[in-house]
Structure 1
Amino acid sequence: MFSYRHGFHAGNHADVFKHLVLVATLRHLLAKDAPLWVIDTHSGAGLYRLDGDYAGTSGEAQDGILKLVDAVGAHNEIDGKALAPALADYLQQVRDFNRPGDWRVYPGSPFIAQKLLRSEVRDKLKLFELHPSDSKALAGNVAQLNAGRQVSVAREDGFEALRALLPPPSRRALVLVDPSYEIKSDYGKVLATLRDSLQRFATGCYAVWYPVIPRPEAHELPRKLRTLANQLHKPWLHATFSIGQRAAAAGEAAGARPGLTASGMFLVNPPHTLKPALEAALPQLLQVLGRGRGQGQLIEAGGA
C-alpha cells in the first residue's frame, strides 16, 4: 500500500501539467475577497529535491520541469514567442523556490497553493497524507513555513477526512484529489468521494488528477466523472496531456516499459477562465515536452 513515493516523479511532465492547472485555477478563485479553503487529499511530502536520492535517481524531471526551463531560458519565450500567461505564471511559482539559474527544488501542490494563499483574508490550507514517511516529511516541510493556523497537516486518509470538512465555513473551496492509484480501488474511491462531496458541498471546485494508462479503470474514470457532473447539472472541464513515447535508447531491451506518458485533469465547477488559459498554454507546453508518437493534448468542457 505504501510503495508509492512521489519523490521519484517530482517535476515530471504530469506534475508540470497538474500544477499549471492548479495555479490557473487558484488565480481565478483568489480574485474574490472571500476566504478560500484549499483541501489536498493526497499531499505527498510537499517539497522535493530534484538532485536528491529519489528525483535524481529517476531523472523524470529531465522530461518535465527541467526541459521546460531549458527551452524557456531567461526571456520567458519559446522560439521567440512570449509564454502564455498561465504557463509563465506556473513557471514563476516554481522559480521562486530556487536560486537564479539553480533548479534544485520542486514544490508540490501544498507549497504551490500556500504560496498563493492570502493570510490577510484567512485563506486555509488543509493537507492530508497517509504514507508514514511522506507525512512526516510534509509536517517538517510545512513547519518551516511558519504559516501558523493557515496550514494544517494530518496523517489521515484524505478520502475519509474530506467528509468532515465539507461544506467549509467560508462556503468557498478548491478540493484537489490526487491519489497514487497504485491500487485499483483508488479509482472507485475517487468517484465515490466526488459524488459524496458534491452532495455535501455542491458549489465547491473539485480537481481530480489521474494517470492515462492502459488500465480499464483509468480509461473509465473521466467518463464516469463526466456522467456524474452531467447528472448533477454541474459544469465540468476535462484536459489531458501526453508527451508521447520516446525513441528506444541504444541497448534498451525491446518492449521495455515506457513509464507514464500522459495524464488527465477533470474539474467540476471549474473557473470559466480555465479553458481559454489552457488553450493558450498547453500547445506551448507540448511544443517543448512532446517527444514522439502519441503526443497530444485535449481540452473539453460541458455541463450546466
Structure 2
Amino acid sequence: MFSYRHAFHAGNHADVLKHTVLIATLEHMLEKDAALTVVDTHAGAGLYRLDGDYAGTSGEAAEGILRLLASKKAPAAPTAPTTSAAPAPAAKSASKKAAPEAEAPLADAIARYLEVIHDFNPNGGARVYPGSPFIVQHLLRDHDKLKLFELHPTDGRTLSANIAQLEAGRQISVLNEDGFGSATKFLPPPSRRALVLMDPSYEMKTDYGRVLDFAAEALKRFATGTYAVWYPIIPRPEAHDLPRRLKTMATKSGKSWLHATLTVKSSKITKDAASGETQRPGLPASGMFLINPPYTLKPLLAAALPQLAERLGQDRNATFSLESGG
C-alpha cells in the first residue's frame, strides 16, 4: 500500500502537465478578493531534489521539466489532437528552400509554469522541484488557506518538516490522514470558494473508484467548487473509464467540465532484439479532468498543449487532446 513515492517521479512529463494546469487554474481563481481554500488530497512530500537519490534513480525529470527547460528550438506544427482543434497546417513543398526557423514564443501557461519553477531555482535549472503543495502556497495570498493530506508515513513526516520551514502559521494544515476519507470535512469552506486537487498514486486499482466516490460526495456538499483530477493513461480499463465516468457525473450534475491529455510516447510493450528482454515504456501519457473549470483555462491549454507535445514528445506517437462541455 505504501510502496509508491512521488520522489521517484518528480518533474516528469505528468508533473509538467499537472502543474501547468494547476497554476493556470489557481491564478484565475485568485483574481477574486474573497478567500480561497485549496485542498490537496494526496500531497506527497511537497518539495523534491532532482539531484537526489530518488529522482536520480528514475531519471524521469530528464524527459519532463529538464527537457522543457532545455528546449530552445521553436515547436513544429502542432501534433494533431485526438479531439476538436484546428488542424495542423500543411507541410511546405520540399522543393522550396525552407526559411530560417524563428523561435516561437512559449505559450502563456507554459511560460508561467516555468516562471514558478524558476522562483524555486533563482540560479537557473531545476535542482529543486516544487510539488503541488509548494506551488500552491507560493501563489496563495495571506488570507487563503491550504489543506494538505498525506497518508504515507514517511512522506507525511517529510511534508510536515518541509512546510514548517515556510513558517506559514495557520494558513497551512498538514493532516496525516486519508484524503479521500476525510477531506470533504473542509467543504464547503466559509468563503464558499475552493479548489480541490485529487492526484492519488493509482498504485491500487481501487483508487479510480475512490476518485469517483470522493468527487460525487464533494459535489453534493459543495456544488460550486472547482475539482481537478490527475490520472495516468495506461493500459488498464479503469484508467480509460475514469474520464468518461467523470464526464457523465459532471453532465448529470449540470456542471461544466474540461479534459486535457498529453501523450509523449507509445504505450506498447516491446522486446529487445538482442537480449530478448521485455521492455516496458514507463508512463506514456496522463490526463487532467476538471469540473467547474475557469473559463480562461481552455484557451490557455489550447495554446500550451501542442507545444508540450512537441517539446516533450519522445516518439511519433506524441500528441494531445482537449475537450470541454457543460
TM-score range, shorter chain: over 0.9
In the other structure, the counterpart of 2:8 is 8
Per-residue CA shift, 1:100-121, capped at 9, x if unaligned? 23421100000000000001xx
- Paired with 1:28 and 1:83, the residues of 2 have a C-alpha distance of 19
Q: Which of 163, 168, 175 is the aligned partner of 2:196?
A: 175
Q: Which of 89, 114, 120 is the aligned partner of 1:97?
A: 120
Q: Which of 183, 201, 215 is the aligned partner of 1:194?
A: 215
- Most deviating of 97-106 and 63-72: 97-106
Q: Which of 166, 170, 181 is the aligned partner of 2:187?
A: 166
Kept in 1, the 8 Å contact 2:262–2:286? The answer is: yes
Q: Which of 104, 111, 134 is the aligned partner of 1:111?
A: 134
Q: Which of 240, 257, 262 is the aligned partner of 1:236?
A: 257
In the other structure, the counterpart of 2:108 is 85
- Paired with 2:112 and 2:196, the residues of 1 have a C-alpha distance of 21
In the other structure, the counterpart of 2:94 is none
Please give the residue correspondences for 1:54-93 in structure 2 after superposition, counting only pairs within 5 Å: 54-72=54-72, 80-93=103-116
List alignment gaps of at least 5 residues for structure 2.
76-101
Per-residue CA shift, 1:119-167, capped at 9, x if unaligned? 1xx1000000000000000000000111111111010000012121111
Look up the equivalent residue of 2:246 and give its one-letter code: L
- Paired with 2:47 and 2:12, the residues of 1 have a C-alpha distance of 14
User: Which secondary structure state, in structure 2, belongs to the residue aligned with residue 81 of structure 1?
Assistant: coil
In the other structure, the counterpart of 1:46 is 46
User: Which secondary structure state, in structure 2, belongs to the residue aligned with residue 196 of structure 1?
Assistant: helix
In the other structure, the counterpart of 1:283 is 306
Greater Rg by CA? 2
Please give the residue correspondences for 1:14-53 in structure 2 after superposition, counting only pairs within 5 Å: 14-53=14-53
Shift of 1:250: 9.2
Q: Which of 155, 172, 177 is the aligned partner of 1:151?
A: 172
Q: Which has the higher contact order (CA 8 A, sep 6+)?
A: 2
Shift of 1:248: 8.7
Kept in 1, the 8 Å contact 2:118–2:124? The answer is: no
Shift of 1:96: 0.8
Per-residue CA shift, 1:49-95, capped at 9, x if unaligned? 0010100110000000000001149xxx7661111111100011011
In the other structure, the counterpart of 2:89 is none
Per-residue CA shift, 1:258-297, capped at 9, x if unaligned? 1001001100000000000000011111111011142110
Look up the equivalent residue of 2:161 and give its one-letter code: G
- Paired with 2:109 and 2:51, the residues of 1 have a C-alpha distance of 27
- Paired with 1:21 and 1:109, the residues of 2 have a C-alpha distance of 11
- Paired with 1:234 and 1:186, the residues of 2 have a C-alpha distance of 23
- Paired with 1:290 and 1:224, the residues of 2 have a C-alpha distance of 28
Q: Are residues 54 and 250 of structure 1, via their aligned partners in 2, closer, same or farther at CA, if it must alter by over 3 Å?
A: farther
- Paired with 2:72 and 2:271, the residues of 1 have a C-alpha distance of 26
- The root-mean-square deviation of aligned C-alpha atoms, in Å, is 1.7
User: Which secondary structure state, in structure 1, belongs to the residue aligned with residue 279 of structure 2?
Assistant: coil
User: Which secondary structure state, in structure 2, belongs to the residue aligned with residue 206 of structure 1?
Assistant: strand
Per-residue CA shift, 1:200-254, capped at 9, x if unaligned? 0000000000000000111100000000001001000001101013999896755
TM-score, length basis structure 1: 0.94
Look up the equivalent residue of 2:173 and give its one-letter code: S
> In the comparison of the two structures, how many residue pairs are matched?
298
TM-score, length basis structure 2: 0.88
User: Which secondary structure state, in structure 1, belongs to the residue aligned with residue 228 of structure 2?
Assistant: strand
Look up the equivalent residue of 1:106 and give its one-letter code: Y
